[in-house]
Amino acid sequence: MSNAIMLMGTSSHVGKSIITTALCRIFHQQGRKVVPFKAQNMALNSYVTRDGREMGRAQVAQAEAAGLEPMVDMNPVLLKPTGNSCSQVVLMGKPIGNMSAREYHKGYSLKAFDAVKESLGRLQAEYDTIVIEGAGSPAEVNLKANDIVNMRVAKYLQAPVLLIADIDRGGALAALVGTLELLDEDERALVKGLIINKFRGDVSLLTPAIDFLEQKTGKPVLGVVPHVEALGIDDEDSVSLEEKQAVPLDAPIKIAVIRTPKLSNFTDFDSLAAEPDVSLYYVSDKEELGEPDMIILPGSKNTTEDLIHLRETGMEREISRRAAKGTPLWGICGGYQMLGKAIHDPEHTESEHDSIEGLGYLDMETTFAAQKRTTQVTADCVQFPFLGQLLAAQDMPGYEIHMGKTAFGPAVHHPFHIHARAAQEADSWDGAVLREQNGQQGEVVGTYIHGIFDHDGFRRQVINALRSRKGLSPLAIQRNVRAEKEKAYNHLAAVVRESLDMEKLAEIMGEKL
């Protein structure tokens, strides 16, 4: 059987994903064939693999840290919340339908565990080490009977478990002790070590707490991992998004992302936020919008309901006011669909509305269908006029992940040419542009391509066009996204390696590291 180690937490967002990523990079640096795994993910942040399947972004970062291309065996079950305690269930990268929380947990999750076991079997046959991430807490007694992501996986593999607590939020000792107390005896026996995460300050002050934990639980504390600011690694879920709200607006270029209730794939904008001359912030209501240099409507898991939300909260009027004054407005995926004249949903794939009026900027209409398009693409930006500049870039990688087909009016200009789709040659156009709004020289742009701003050259051209409008000189490319990710993985690995007792970890895993 392949060697495995499993990371569980006392709650959500204690750092399981990050420490899993760190171990993947540490083992990769040691020359191992290491692979990440999470049986079930619940997130609106997703990714499309080379073969057109959908998976959670946390396992994508972990795959990158392990030197691997992402594949759905790393995350066989993905739940994408749609609202009203309901989620779209994605099994082995393909949606199989929407289910309520009760329908899934009471009737389907244990069936999905068959796919989990099949994925684990393939990974065991191919890799030396599997680093497994749990979800939430293994001590949720109301969910344990049908849980397929925590102790059921650990018991199936007889994998040793490391239990992580977040000391930054407080109550870490009680969380560790309480979690262990709530586990069954055979589950508790699988927990081989404890980790305290996100510590700030002098670690020597924790010595009495560590001694107490080891005496109280009989479990060794493998280490105390410090709080690491600005990791530069993709976040998994909306809990991480909460930390992105308070962004200092001291950079000259200000970009507002409209935060709708079903916002998805917010990592599309992390590369923009990382630019030194950009302050990117998320806006939940119209009073927070301010006077940005650019507004972005992001992707959405429920485009229709999010559009209604914009209308009901008055955000639509505020966006329109700024667009009429010439503030550039970009829409990505669901946000792009909102920019059109109408959205039709005859099969009620998203909501109970047959049709809804769009924001009306772009001469296009979108009709939803049950089938979802999930594919990687490579596109060129072909002489796209934006704020008096001509943007051009080649070989821009990204991916499409949307339901619905968009039809265009005759005068629509398409800024992006897709020349590869799913690693096959392609020839199609993407996106739409409006360069005048109510007699004013505005800019409204939409695209289905996620990750469009991750291309270093294109991103810098967009920012420089915004700089030029404000009378600022253009800057050369400031960041290399891929190189900085590699640097971030290496930095994270170094911090965790220094913080943990690696010899004890080797002993727990039954080997020498």
Q: Which two tokens stand for residue 177?
A: 């002790």
Point out the catalytic residue in the list 13, 28, 417, 450. Answer: 450
Point out the catalytic residue in the list 333, 381, 402, 417. Answer: 333
Q: Can you list the alpha helix ranges (DSSP code H) found in 41-108?
A: 57-65, 101-103
Q: Which two tokens stand for residue 271?
A: 């590369």
- d(CA 318, CA 81) in angstroms, rounded, equals 28
- d(CA 32, CA 27) in angstroms, rounded, equals 6
Known active-site residue 413: no
**What 8-state DSSP symbol labels residue 412?**
P
Q: Residue 64 CB: number of other CB atoms within 10 A?
A: 23
Q: Which two tokens stand for residue 108?
A: 């389907």
Spatial CB neighbours of 241, under 8 Å, sequence gap ≥ 6 = 235, 259, 263, 266, 282
Known active-site residue 333: yes
- d(CA 506, CA 513) in angstroms, rounded, equals 5
Q: Strand, coil or helix: what is 188?
A: helix
For residue 460, CA distances in Å to 159, 205, 334, 414 come to 46, 45, 24, 20
Closest residue by Cα to residue 19 from 195, 247, 220: 195
CA 233, 399, 410, 392 dihedral sign is positive
Q: Residue 407 CB: number of other CB atoms within 10 A?
A: 12
Q: Which two tokens stand for residue 96?
A: 């199989």
- d(CA 167, CA 190) in angstroms, rounded, equals 23
* Active site residue ranges: 333, 450
